[in-house]
Amino acid sequence: MNTLVVHFSKFGHTERLALEIAAALGPPVTVISAEEFSSEALEGKDLLIIGTPTHKMNLPEVVKPVLDRLPKGAMRGKQFAAFDTSYELSRPLQPFTAAKRLDRKLRKLGGTRILAPETFIVEGREGPLRDGEQQRAQKWAATIALTTQLAVS
C-alpha cells in the first residue's frame, strides 16, 4: 500500500510520532509536512495518515487553509487515519480534538476512515510526550497495517 504521512508540528512531538508511524508501516511511505500537502501529493497514494496538534480544541490555524484547498472528492478511493497530540483534556472536552476534525474533513472529501481518530498525550502544553506514547503510536500503526492488509485481501 503506497502511503502518505502528513504532519504539522509546533514543538516537534507530532512530527516525531509521524516518523514513528511511518517507520512502523514500512515502505513505500512518504512523509511530508502539512505545508507541503496538496492534492498532487495524494496522487498515487492509497493511504493517508495525517496528524496535527490540537490548538484551542481545534485544528491549528495554518492547517485549515491547506485542507480547504483540497478539491471536492480529493480523497475518493483513498483510505485514511487521523491523529493528534494534545494535553489530556477533561471528558467534556474530549470531542474537540484536531484528529476528530481531520477525520470529519477527510470523510467529506470522499475518504474512507480505517480507524477512529487517535489522540496521543503530551505533558503540559508544550510536552514532552507522555511516557509510552511513542510505543502506543507504533502499535496504532501496526493496527493500521493489519487493517489495510485485510481490506486489500
For 66, 67, 104, 110, 147, the CA distances from 71, given in Å and listed in that order, are 11, 9, 15, 10, 27
- For residue 128, the model assigns a pLDDT of 94
- For residue 94, the model assigns a pLDDT of 61
SS3 11: coil
Q: Where are the domains of the chain?
A: 3-152
- pLDDT (tens digit, 0 to 9) for every residue of the chain, 153 residues total? 899 999 999 999 999 999 999 999 989 999 999 999 999 999 999 999 999 999 888 899 999 999 999 999 999 999 999 999 998 865 655 667 899 999 999 999 999 999 999 999 999 888 899 999 999 999 999 999 999 875 554
CATH (one of 3.50.50.60, 1.10.1370.30, 3.40.367.20, 3.40.50.360) for 3-152: 3.40.50.360
- Give the predicted TM-score (pTM) of the model: 0.93
By DSSP bridging, strand 112-113 and strand 3-7 are unpaired
